[in-house]
Structure 1
Amino acid sequence: MKCFLFLFLLFSSQLKAQQPLIIDIISSENFSERYTAFLNGRDVMDVTDFNPSTDGSHLEIVEMILLQQALYLGGETKKVVFRPQTWVNSTEFDSLIDGSSLMLARTIWHEDLLDYRGSLYVSDAVIEFGQYEAGLYVSVDNKRAQELKPSELNQLTVVVNPRWHVDWRALVNTPISVISYIGPWEDMLAMVETQVVDAMMINFSVSDHLDLNFEGKLFTPLKKLKVILPDTRHFAVSKAHPQGKQVAQALKRGLKVLTKRGVIKKALQQSGFINQQTIDWQVINQQMIVPRL
């Protein structure tokens, strides 16, 4: 009987050790498919080249890879399984707070995390202050908006969700007319496509001409103009989840290794997130970019 109990406990501990890490991703866009296509059969730890294989935003794919590399380098070797969830694109963190979700595979603005630090482990910054740049994307058919001069930006309307606090704060500190809309990202882009509003702020596409093709509709950024989102971005891990503390500790160790090796900066540059094409573009909310002491 004692032998059976010992074997049972041994088997149970081994089973527990082999349990994968379930990490949530956005379900509204097919990141799983794009992530698999980018890996193209490679092991995550073998990825050293972050140049994109598709157009559009590449940041989410890069973060999924950096997260896994950091966990592994920090000593957490369990397999990661990504679970699509509809709530991930919001700023509501109930699932993280109650422990039903371990963490997200994307970074979160520090400002959105301030009220939840008692319930969440917050990593060091993955995206530093001043690194997050975005363009003002308009429909390619909206010639009036594309021909506006910088001095005429007060004639431009830009839609933004006021619950996206950092986006909202960045835009209201520009001459642009800000239109508030609480709803899906895709609906907002449809408003731009039909020219109900002129533009939407989106981080730059990795295509050669920075254009964004979404479901066959083409959008282009206003040339020579950009907005800097004044905050840092971090991974957040649930304190209530049974794997939370161990994962947060591994993530902290691993991110330090990636930072020291220059991997994070390289990934952001190669992926087009820190975009060399826009390096000399005018920042229209420059007054917000105050160096932190």
Structure 2
Amino acid sequence: MKRRSALSIFCMVIALSLVSAQLSVAAQISIEEGKDSPQLLTFSVPVMKANYPLYQSFLAEKGANPLGITNFSSLYSNRIVVDMVLLQQALALGGLDVKLQYYAVPNPARAIEDVKMGLSPVLGFETWKSDFDDRVFQSDEIIGDGEFLKVVVGRLNNSKYLMQAKSKTDLQKLSAVTGHRWRIDQKTLHEMGIVEIFSVSQYSLQLKMLQEGRVDFGMYEYTNIRKSMPEGLGIVPGITVGLRGTRHFMVSRLHPRGKDIFEALQRGIAILKSRGAFRSAYRECGFISPELDSWKRVFP
């Protein structure tokens, strides 16, 4: 009898867990009363915690309505903030009247997993093609192969080798550091022929290794590193590296409204691309920097 009772309790716990999981997904679709739309669908969408406050400050500066923003020049703007705004504009242009309610997660891996599990219908930013699997839809290309540019950063006093680098061959003689989860950066470094590559878990540790001279260079987004360049480090002038791979928006196949969102998103992306909206916004936020237009892309 004790065994039978224990089994019954176990089955009840499993059943309650399944119901709870279903309710958690359903709870992310809510009806919000509004003046313009009496039944506005609201979806919870993950973004990295570092970008969430920037997005809030950006909206406050631009007038709060993301659908009306056409200029992305701001101290609070970056590539992710642009994605968060243009994602909403694409859905609206695609004919889907919804509100995206962003929530903060620690890192991109967590955000991607939430979408793959169907806990959220769409990722709040574009991501690498290699992140996709059969649980998600892949949007049309947002950033092309080699278009995601990074600058080379190292110690300013490494003038004999690094700061004089002008080609891929020059960099092949040196050591590099990158993020443990930065798989595309790792792939790019390998394809460049860099032999000595250190992969570390924390961004701050990358910078510390560079400052201490334990490694020669790292690759970073120009706008981000320029705003917070650590003491003693600098950008190698005149060269950039294009990362190998394309980037796309990710939509969950497991979410109840995933297919509707994906179809609307595709229509909206096509309209935005025909207007040059992505490239214009990326240039205004600094992701595509006019300062780098004349620099030599040493790879690919």
- Normalised TM-score (structure 1): 0.79
Post-superposition shift, 1:163? 4.4
Q: Which residue of 2 aligns with 1:119?
A: 135
SS at match of 1:226: strand
Q: Which residue of 2 aligns with 1:5?
A: none
The one of 89, 101, 105 equivalent to 2:120 is: 101
The answer to whether the Cα contact below 8 Å between 1:127 and 1:233 also exists between their aligned partners in 2 is yes
Q: Which residue of 2 aligns with 1:6?
A: none
The one of 272, 286, 289 equivalent to 1:275 is: 289
1:83 aligns with 2:83: no
Q: Which residue of 2 aligns with 1:213?
A: 228
1:47 aligns with 2:69: yes
Relative distance call for 1:167 and 1:270 in structure 2 (3 A) is same
Post-superposition shift, 1:130? 2.9
SS at match of 2:71: coil
The one of 208, 214, 235 equivalent to 1:190 is: 208
Distance 1:184 1:167 in 2: 15
Post-superposition shift, 1:134? 0.7
Distance 1:255 1:37 in 2: 25
The answer to whether the Cα contact below 8 Å between 1:100 and 1:241 also exists between their aligned partners in 2 is yes
1:204 aligns with 2:222: yes
Q: What is the one-letter code of the residue matched to 2:75?
A: S
Relative distance call for 1:14 and 1:235 in structure 2 (3 A) is closer
SS at match of 1:237: strand
Structure 1 residue runs without a partner (length 5+): 1-11, 287-293
Please tell me whether Structure 1 or Structure 2 has the larger radius of gyration of its CA atoms: 2
Distance 2:265 2:250 in 1: 10
Q: Give structure 1 regions of 4+ aligned residues with deviation exceeding 4 angstroms.
A: 12-17, 139-146, 216-219
Structure 2 residue runs without a partner (length 5+): 1-28, 34-38
1:245 aligns with 2:259: yes
Distance 1:64 1:13 in 2: 20
SS at match of 1:222: strand
Distance 1:45 1:123 in 2: 20
Relative distance call for 1:60 and 1:15 in structure 2 (3 A) is closer
Q: What is the one-letter code of the residue matched to 2:184?
A: V
Distance 1:212 1:145 in 2: 25
The answer to whether the Cα contact below 8 Å between 2:111 and 2:123 also exists between their aligned partners in 1 is no
Distance 1:181 1:100 in 2: 30
Distance 2:62 2:193 in 1: 47
The answer to whether the Cα contact below 8 Å between 1:160 and 1:178 also exists between their aligned partners in 2 is no
SS at match of 2:228: strand
Distance 2:79 2:92 in 1: 20
How many pairs are equivalent?
A: 263
Q: Deviations over 1:47-78 (max 9, x none)?
A: 11122325xx8111111111111111112222
The one of 66, 69, 82 equivalent to 2:89 is: 69
- Normalised TM-score (structure 2): 0.77
Post-superposition shift, 1:13? 9.3
Distance 1:96 1:47 in 2: 26
The answer to whether the Cα contact below 8 Å between 2:52 and 2:103 also exists between their aligned partners in 1 is no
SS at match of 1:51: coil
Relative distance call for 1:60 and 1:121 in structure 2 (3 A) is same
Q: Which residue of 1 aligns with 2:56?
A: 36
Distance 1:142 1:36 in 2: 40
The one of 69, 73, 80 equivalent to 1:60 is: 80
SS at match of 2:294: coil
Q: What is the one-letter code of the residue matched to 2:228?
A: N
Distance 1:213 1:282 in 2: 23
Q: Which residue of 2 aligns with 1:138?
A: 154
Post-superposition shift, 1:123? 0.6
Relative distance call for 1:51 and 1:185 in structure 2 (3 A) is same
The answer to whether the Cα contact below 8 Å between 1:134 and 1:228 also exists between their aligned partners in 2 is yes
Q: What is the one-letter code of the residue matched to 1:153?
A: L
The answer to whether the Cα contact below 8 Å between 2:41 and 2:97 also exists between their aligned partners in 1 is no
Q: Deviations over 1:219-269 (max 9, x none)?
A: 432111111112210000111112212211211111111111221121122
Post-superposition shift, 1:15? 6.3
Relative distance call for 1:129 and 1:183 in structure 2 (3 A) is same
